[in-house]
Amino acid sequence: MAHHILVIDQGTTSTRGVVFDGDVHPRAASQQEFPQIYPRPGWVEHDPEAIWSTTVATCRRALAEAKRSGRDIAALGITNQRETTLIWDRRTGKPIHNAIVWQDRRTTALCERMQRDGSGPLIGERTGLLLDPYFSATKVAWLLDNVPGAREAAEAGQLAFGTVDTFLLWRLTGGTVHATDATNAARTLLFDIHRGSWDSDLLSLFGIPAALLPEVRDCATDFGTTDPSLFGAAIPIRGIAGDQQAALIGQACFQPGMAKSTYGTGCFALLNTGTTAIASRHRLVTTIAYQIDGVRTYALEGSIFVAGAAVQWLRDGLGLIAAADESGTLAAAADPAQAVYLVPAFVGLGAPHWDPEARALLTGMTRGTTRKEIVRAALEAVAYQTRDLLDAMRADWGNTAGGSVIRVDGGMSASDWTMQFLADILAAPVDRPACLETTSTGAAYLAGMAIGLYPDPDAFAAQWRAERRFIPAMSAAERSAKYRGWRDAIARALLRPEVGSQGY
pLDDT digits (tens, 9 = 90+) for 46-94: 999 999 999 999 999 999 999 999 999 999 999 999 999 999 999 999 9
pLDDT score of 101: 95
Q: 211 with 326, same domain?
A: no
CA dist 186 to 192, 280, 342, Å? 7, 16, 32
279 lies in some domain: no
Q: Please tell me the least confidently modeled range out of 95-99, 143-147, 458-462.
A: 458-462
Dihedral sign of CA atoms 449, 452, 453, 455 in order: positive
Residue 497 reports pLDDT greater than 60 = no
d(CA 90, CA 214): 12
Is the per-residue pLDDT at 264 higher than 90? no
pLDDT at 403 over 80: no
Instruction: Please indicate, yes or no, if residue 249 is contained in any of the structural domains.
Output: no
CB atoms within 10 A of CB 236: 18
Q: How far apart are CA 80 and CA 99, in angstroms?
A: 13
In a shared domain, residues 336 and 237: no
Domain-ending residue, one of 204, 223, 243:
243
| Structural domain includes residue 410 | no
In a domain, 205, yes or no: yes
Mean pLDDT over 203-227 rounds to 97
Residue 79 domain-assigned (yes or no): yes
Q: What is the DSSP string of 48-103?
A: HHHHHHHHHHHHHHHHHHTT--GGGEEEEEEEE-SS-BEEEETTT--BSSPEEPTT
CATH no. for residue 345? 3.30.420.40
The whole-chain average pLDDT of the chain stands at 92
Q: Which of 494, 467, 167 is nearest to 360 (CA)?
A: 494
350, 135 Cβ separation under 8 angstroms: no
What integer pLDDT is reported at residue 31 of this predicted model?
95
Looking at the fold, whether 233 and 331 belong to one and the same domain comes out as: no
pLDDT in tens, 292-342: 999 999 999 998 888 888 888 999 898 988 888 889 899 999 999 999 999
Best CA proximity match to 483, nearest among 357, 384, 358? 384
Tell me which residue range forms the domain holding 231.
4-243
Is residue 27 predicted with pLDDT exceeding 90?
A: yes
Question: Considering 192, 213, 243, which residue would you say is the last residue of a domain?
Answer: 243
Domain membership of residue 49 (yes or no) is yes
Distances in whole angstroms, Cα of residue 184 to Cα of each of 60, 79, 291, 413, 434 = 25, 10, 11, 25, 27
What residues are paired with 179 via a beta bridge? 215
Examine the domain organization and report whether 313 and 236 are in the same domain. Answer: no
> What percentage of the chain carries pLDDT values higher than 90?
76
Instruction: Specify if 231 maps to a domain.
Output: yes
pLDDT at 103: 86
Q: Taking 60 as the threshold, does the pLDDT of residue 227 lie above it?
A: yes
Do residues 205 and 89 share a domain? yes
Distance CA(80)–CA(168), nearest Å, equals 10
Find the mean pLDDT for residues 376-395. 91
- Per the DSSP assignment, residues forming a β-bridge with 469 are 431
Q: Which of 233, 238, 244 minimizes the C-alpha distance to 449?
A: 238
Q: Are residues 46 and 171 in the same domain?
A: yes
- What is the predicted pLDDT for the residue at 500? 41
**Where is the domain boundary, 217, 243, 269?**
243
Q: Are residues 129 and 212 in the same domain?
A: yes
Query: What is the structure's pLDDT at 283?
Result: 85
Is 180 in the same domain as 44? yes
Query: Are residues 238 and 318 located together in one domain of the fold?
Result: no
User: pLDDT tens-digit profile of 236-253?
Assistant: 999 999 999 999 999 999
Residue 321 backbone dihedrals phi, psi, to 5 degrees:
-135, 155
* Gap between the Cα atoms of 291 and 241, Å rounded: 9
Q: Is 287 inside a domain boundary?
A: no
Residue 179 sits at the vertex; the CA angle it makes with 177 and 183, to the nearest 5 degrees, is 155
Q: What is the pLDDT of residues 420-435, one digit of tens each?
A: 999 999 999 999 999 8
The domain total for the chain is 2
- Residue 134, pLDDT score: 87
At residue 496, the pLDDT reads 56
Same domain for 125 and 18: yes
Q: Output the pLDDT for position 504.
A: 32
Same domain, 84 and 227: yes
182, 56: one domain: yes
